Amino acid sequence: MTDTGAGEGTHTPLTERGTRTRERLIAAAREVFEQRGFLDTRVSHITRHAKVAYGSFYTYFPSKEAVFLEVADRLFEDMTQSSPVPPDPESSPADASPAARIRRANRAYYEAYLRNAKMMAIVEQVATFNEEFQEMRRKHRAVSVGRSAKAIERWQRAGLVAQDLDPEMTARALAAMVDHSLYLWLVQGDDPPATERLLDTLDTLNVRALGLPPTP
């Protein structure tokens, strides 16, 4: 959980009622951001949507950026928690093959992306001009890339992946491929391909690029 750094004048609510108001504002903010984007969202839109007085917004957040960071933080939580599919102990050996795990991870990420597509668009928007937010995003990316790199190294040690690949660079590049493909498709609306065709292609390219044996 990234520290959103509550500043002067704003404080974490103490009373039950305060907590409720704050949550209402966060929920409203997310909905409004999704509808209008960060730039076109006015604080008044958020308060109106949350059915809260204009001034109350500043009781809980020092600025528009501040709510956004909170909303984004929760979003990242959702996006990354679902990613690392825990090894299912009950699953057959085939399910545990690297190719199968990549497939499962990709599908999970796709599901999460689909669920959050609107906010992902806003996230991209804010990332283009807000440094603080860029940093937050970089950290999240580093974590998940690190995780993938670790897996690749493991597979290299197991002789499943070619030794000449740089695990870190590879993890980055493949993550960029999946991430950006989904972005262009789900957010920018590049002529929608058949879902399965795109996901299959991503799985296959991933697996072949790494030189892994295909899923049986």
Contact residues for DNA, defined by CB under 7 A: 9, 11, 13-15, 17-18, 20-21, 41-44, 52-60, 62-64
- Window 130 to 159, contacts with its own copies (CB under 8 A): 134, 138, 141-142
Contacts of 27 (CB under 8 A, 6+ apart): 50
Position 176: which residue type?
A: A
Residue whose entry in the numeric block shows the structure tokens 């528009």: 64
37 binds, among its own copies, DNA, none (CB under 5 to 8 A by kind): its own copies
- Window 10 to 69, contacts with its own copies (CB under 8 A): 37, 39-40, 44
Is 34 in contact with 13 (CB distance < 8 Å)?
Answer: no
The reply on whether position 127 binds its own copies by CB under 8 A is yes
Alpha-carbon distances of 67 from 91, 92, 100, 182, rounded to whole Å:
41, 44, 38, 26
d(CA 108, CA 84): 8
- Rounded to 5 degrees, what angle do the CA atoms 144, 104, 90 make? 110
d(CA 167, CA 146): 9
DSSP state of 212: P
DSSP state of 159: T
114 binds, among DNA, its own copies, none (CB under 5 to 8 A by kind): none
Which of 23, 78, 88, 166 is close enough to bind its own copies by CB under 8 A?
166
Alpha-carbon distances of 198 from 107, 168, 205, rounded to whole Å:
11, 25, 11
Which of 202, 213, 215, 216 is close enough to bind its own copies by CB under 8 A?
202
Least distance between its own copies and beta carbon 54 (Å): 11
The reply on whether position 89 binds its own copies by CB under 8 A is no
Stretch that binds its own copies, among 17-25, 70-78, 103-111, 174-182 (CB under 8 A): 174-182
- Rounded to 5 degrees, what angle do the CA atoms 3, 5, 10 make? 135
14 binds, among DNA, its own copies, none (CB under 5 to 8 A by kind): DNA
Stretch that binds its own copies, among 78-86, 87-95, 109-117, 200-208 (CB under 8 A): 200-208
For binding to its own copies (CB under 8 A), which residues are involved? Answer: 9, 37, 39-40, 44, 121, 124-125, 127-129, 134, 138, 141-142, 162, 164-166, 168-170, 172-174, 176-177, 179-181, 184, 188, 190-191, 193, 197-198, 200-202, 204-206, 208-211
